[in-house]
Chains A and B, each alone.
Chain A
Amino acid sequence: MNALWSLFLNAAFVDNMPLILFLGLCTFLALSKEVGAAFGLGVAMIAVLGVTVPVNHLIYQTFLAPGAWAWAGLPELDLSYLALIAFIGVIAAAVQILEMILDRFFPSIHAAFGVFLPLLTVQCAILAGSLFMVERSYTLAESAVFGLGSGVGFMVAVVMLGAIRTRLAYADLPAGLRGLGVAFILTGMMSLGFASFAQMVAAQ
């Protein structure tokens, strides 16, 4: 239990996806101009990462991992090179199903997500969640916790950046720095802050 909790904190803060691992930055920067949109993106990330990482884990272990077809008399078969296509398919399907479920049972939440939900199919942070799961060979429980933790970390980061940028709209910045330029500098400063979490873990 304790190990899972520390994995969660690690995924959310130490290895924060946008700030430390540079994942999902395109949407991170594009949708952080105000807090409302940032919050919607954060919730969608938690939902999709929390679903796709464990599902991809099951698919990888059942069909693609080396030796997965041993029961069918094919112990040497190694389909792991197909992981990329399989994962993308699962992510696209999961996003689609999630959208339909929300549309049918929780229309208000669906309306709040707006266009962000379908966009998540091509979000590198989500594919990266599944790829990290394979690279670090997590178990099923670990991959579910890892997915949720990464999603929470993304949401914390994007809501914070959204709040800062809302305020910054009133600042008198140098012309060339307005918009994208200052967003990068801000992200860098937040990244400095999050980098200190790694030091805290190392110090323990």
Chain B
Amino acid sequence: MGPKTEYWRVLTEPLVRQNPVTLQILGICSALAVTTTLATAFTMAASLTVVLTLAAGLVSVIRHHIPDTIRLIVQIVIIASLVIVIDQILQAYFAEISRALSVYVGLITTNCLVLGRTEAYARHNRPVAAMVDALGNGLGYSLVLILIGGIRELFGRGELFGARVLPLSESGGWFTPLSLMLLAPSAFFLLGLLVWAIRSWRPEQVEAREHEPPARAKVAE
């Protein structure tokens, strides 16, 4: 396998097969909190992908110089600095979205997806491979965010990116917004159903039983 196909595999593997949100349980907090509208979901996905890719590159470049005992602190400081930069950029150019995202941009610092990938992959691999892996994971995360954000905004408000898609019944159309879609529980339900759908399509992700049920009693014929 040449280096090109290897990079392609590292890039595409986390999209569905090793998706960070639905399989690795990484970065779920922000995935659910910011998905009430597509615009915030998209901003969050883009910010995280940028931070993750840059952090993985930086950690990988200095990987031979980080003492093993303080590597977590070094990684967190690198990530936190990148997050501060992103946060300042958002506040300067996208003030409205920045307010909607509230503390969740700052929380990219402790997003386990970022630390998880720098710790598990970037620390042992060359910069290019580390950044490709980070980009793939960022895209896998973005995919889930944009999917859930799209569903919640479409059915919760009848809009996509703030533009009317489904005509509302109060203005002569047929669609009544499901306000439940904008509340916290629906995000959990949607992600649960998404996990179910992916695992039905890819049965190798199904978790093993913790307890073997007894054989069903035979019904007398």
Contact = CB atoms under 8 A, between A and B. Distances in A.
B37 interface: no
Nearest to B115: A122
Contacts of B191: 184
B80 interface: yes
B206 A178 contact: yes
Contacts of B33: 21-23
Contacts of B186: 188
A179 interface: yes
B209 interface: yes
Given A84-B84, A187-B188, A131 B107 contact: yes
B196 A26 contact: no
B84 A23 contact: no
B88 A81 contact: yes
Interface string B97-135: 000001100110111100100000000000000000000
Contacts of A59: none
Contact of B192 (A25, A170, A184): A184
Interface string A168-197: 011010111111111111011101100100
B85 to A, nearest CB: 10
Contact of B22 (A24, A122, A180): A180
B9 to A, nearest CB: 24
A174 B196 contact: yes
Contact of B80 (A85, A124, A131, A195): A85
Interface string A138-171: 0000000000000000000000000000000110
A122 B102 CA distance: 19
A184 B211 contact: no
A127 B25 contact: no
A43 interface: no
Interface residues of A, number: 48
Given A180-B22, A180-B195, A182-B192, A25 B184 contact: no
Contacts of B80: 84-85, 88
User: B73, B106, B199 — which one has the most chain A CB atoms within 10 A of its CB?
Assistant: B106
B72 interface: yes
A121 interface: yes
B185 A189 contact: yes
A182 B33 CA distance: 19
Majority secondary structure of chain A interface residues (helix, strand, loop or mixed): helix
Interface string A115-149: 00000011111111001100100000000000000
B189 A188 contact: yes
A169 B210 contact: yes
Nearest to B199: A176
A19 interface: yes
B178 interface: no
B26 A26 contact: yes
A77 interface: no
B72 A121 contact: yes
B219 to A, nearest CB: 17
A185 B190 CA distance: 8
B209 A88 contact: no
Interface in B184-221: 184-189, 191-193, 195-200, 203, 206-207, 209-211, 213
A135 B87 CA distance: 14
Interface in B156-188: 183-188
Contacts of B11: none
B144 to A, nearest CB: 12
Given A122-B112, A125-B29, A176-B200, 11 more contacts: A24-B29, A85-B77, A85-B80, A88-B110, A124-B110, A128-B103, A169-B210, A180-B23, A184-B195, A188-B186, A191-B185
5 contacts: A26-B29, A81-B84, A121-B76, A169-B210, A169-B211
Interface of B: 22-23, 25-30, 32-33, 72-73, 76-77, 80-81, 83-84, 87-88, 102-103, 106-107, 109-112, 115, 183-189, 191-193, 195-200, 203, 206-207, 209-211, 213
